[in-house]
Structure 1
């Protein structure tokens, strides 16, 4: 093992001089490297494009060499005004109908403003129902239409003739872009038949598409309306947008089917709303290749496309959003928080800065039916913790424990039904929820 000794004053000075020489050599080498790079990138001739008053571009060649890299700073480039940029952007957006309809400005993108956890303060006091008198629900007028309603009459309300005209246009455009000379241009009636056949296939659910055209199954609806070759040809080329006109910064994974989604949403938003509404998720079973596909453990169909539905108590949908992760587009209607709406639902306590309430162990010792609550300092949100079979956390902006009642529950120990204390917010929640599940059952 080598021994260490302390350097004297002369050895330290010699070491410092050697370091200064190395640093000076390094700086000289760096300057030589820069000169070498400049010689490589210095052009022998440069071409300057100038635009005269008449709008004609003139190209003049500069014969002299650029002697120093600093000469580039002396070149004055013409300033581009914001009006010119806006004009070019407007001309680019107007080049396609789909861009003009679906282009979203960054300034118009809604921003969700949430209260920070550190700013949330709670206080414990009894909070009863404190509904506002200015919020009143007016029932929609009864539909006086006495005409006969058929399934097709409901269908055309969601997908009108204009939708099929655009589908024909973009389908033929796509076939032309692919250079498919053997494709016969389609018509609006053929697109209607194609969609109708897909609806019928969802009812019969045969394992192979070819089986719907097999004579042994005697499904004459498919063979009489369209041949199998034409069905495959249209299904392969069906398009609802011009894929070549997709914006460069578009992160929408449903860009190709966005027109039909917005068409159905627009019609649903025109329906008269019910008084009691609920928002819940629904899984559309799907195991194919799709970037927005989700896996939710514990669901009957864990793999699929997650959709958030706004439904009434009757199961009627009024709006929906297809979940795409962090890139899910949200409308102003969804993120607007200053509307007068009574809301209540189950929440996670860590999202509310852990309100000062007893934990699940303390609640379990108090027994089944115990409930506690606290209210935010601005008295706009109530947090309720109720113990049934396990701890349930709810938040509301209009009711807390309120006027409680008794709920009938099964008890494993006594093997019979018992009466359990139930807060008012739980009763209202149970009465209004379930619309999305009812919709799923009807579909």
Structure 2
């Protein structure tokens, strides 16, 4: 019943387990997130957004307050929080102003500042965009997209089986490369071809489809070119690639074998590579299978329903193995394909479940929201693979991960906001206290950064004793000596501020 694998590379990777790449072991949800949304991406977005903000403010004769890195991270944290709450269709002002909504929104920043950042968020230099658009219609987002894909490729070691499929990011605004896919629920959107790990749905690499260029002929062998381009980083690893009928062909199977990669995929019924014997026929019996073998390529034609035929191609299987225990007597190629084909569909479903997407007319923002969703999913897969004890015996691991990630992203800016303006409204201060951000904690943190305090006379001792100490009372911040101080454990000390 086991598959006969011809190449040595396939045998060496038969039991490979996915794991973070060396040097990429996450310590916390934010650390896992930082591996995908890196500092160079954030710095580029801050620079381009500030240029746009200054231009827009100058037109209105106003002054623009530059976006800092912490403030941008807080903006991303609030966006992810909306995805965690499944409130992406709720208006921004309702999220920030409603008393029953999550207090993290109003504790992080004002609704006006959030809308200003979202309005001016840019991903490239506007002054040089026209020149880059001559050769790349995705110029407004290309640099950030390439940086993100580079991070995805080098952070994770996939299983022995990966899958290539497409994702349609819903969008109906103005865009030169918008696609119409009637089989998808959204119908219109931006098409992205993804290479995903079949078991964990980790997104390894992607290609945004630009469509036919003006003045050029339609691309030929698009499926073959896409798979070869996405699998270029897996060359000589012996891994198996799963594809659907759009990509699968005999030329693709031969091209992958030359790179020591195997292929399992479904063939279209009108494919010229299918022998006449294997095509649909009313005379064929239910649950019957026909096999064909040539040049390390196996083709199987299976009848799952009356007058219907499923035809698959494989360079991983080389015999007529059938699952005899099954009532339907499915060939092993069919069962293997069914168990591994859902990687990208699962990824797309998980991304849409807790998506941070908001309504917008700008396609770069649509791409950016999708990058945030995929980055959050990849960070979760990476973190869970190294922290199996995280939220054991619960079914909402990813939701808890997003909650912790959002809080870690917004906390530094929340502290800066309170430190810069200690006279914030009481409702905002009380919201900050829910997440452990208080004036006392800020003062303790400042004291820790400043180092040991100067020694002064203990305010409890009489002046004639002249007893000096560097310790401060945690309540009144007066200097006290050891005789007039009390020792408490760290748990009680921290619990006092909560």
TM-score normalised per structure 1: 0.59
Listed as ranges, the matches of 1:91-170 within 5 Å are 129=4, 131-135=6-10, 136-137=12-13, 139=16, 149-170=27-48
Alignment match, 2:149: 265
Residues 287 and 304 in structure 2, CA contact (< 8 A), matched pair in contact too: yes
Q: 1:272, CA displacement in angstroms?
A: 0.7
Alignment match, 2:299: 383
Q: 1:348 to 1:261 in 2, by over 3 A?
A: same
| 1:218-240 C-alpha deviation (Å, 9 max, x unpaired) | 43322222222222222222112
Alignment match, 1:334: 230
CA distance in 1, matches of 2:24, 2:314: 41
* Greater relative CO (CA pairs within 8 A, separation 6+): 2
| 1:236-283 C-alpha deviation (Å, 9 max, x unpaired) | 221121133234564544322223322322122111121122222333
Matched, 1:237 2:120: yes
Structure index of larger Rg: 1
Alignment match, 1:51: none
Q: 1:344, CA displacement in angstroms?
A: 0.8
Q: RMSD between aligned alpha carbons?
A: 3.3
TM-score normalised per structure 2: 0.53
Moved more, 134-143 or 268-277: 134-143
Residues 400 and 425 in structure 1, CA contact (< 8 A), matched pair in contact too: no
Q: 1:343, CA displacement in angstroms?
A: 0.7
Alignment match, 2:391: none
CA distance in 2, matches of 1:398, 1:147: 32
Question: Gaps (5+ residues) in structure 1?
Answer: 1-127, 409-418
Q: 1:158, CA displacement in angstroms?
A: 0.8
Aligned residues: 302
Alignment match, 2:340: 432
Alignment match, 2:265: 345
Matched, 1:316 2:222: no
Q: 1:239 to 1:394 in 2, by over 3 A?
A: same
Q: 1:200 to 1:142 in 2, by over 3 A?
A: closer
Listed as ranges, the matches of 1:10-409 within 5 Å are 129=4, 131-135=6-10, 136-137=12-13, 139=16, 149-176=27-54, 179-180=58-59, 182=62, 183-204=64-85, 205=87, 206-246=89-129, 247-248=131-132, 250=134, 252-270=136-154, 271-312=156-197, 313-326=199-212, 333-334=229-230, 337=255, 338-361=258-281, 364-376=282-294, 379-389=295-305, 390-399=308-317, 402-406=320-324, 408=326
Residues 149 and 205 in structure 2, CA contact (< 8 A), matched pair in contact too: yes
Residues 212 and 222 in structure 1, CA contact (< 8 A), matched pair in contact too: yes
Question: Gaps (5+ residues) in structure 2?
Answer: 214-221, 233-254, 352-498
Residues 280 and 310 in structure 1, CA contact (< 8 A), matched pair in contact too: yes
Moved more, 135-144 or 265-274: 135-144
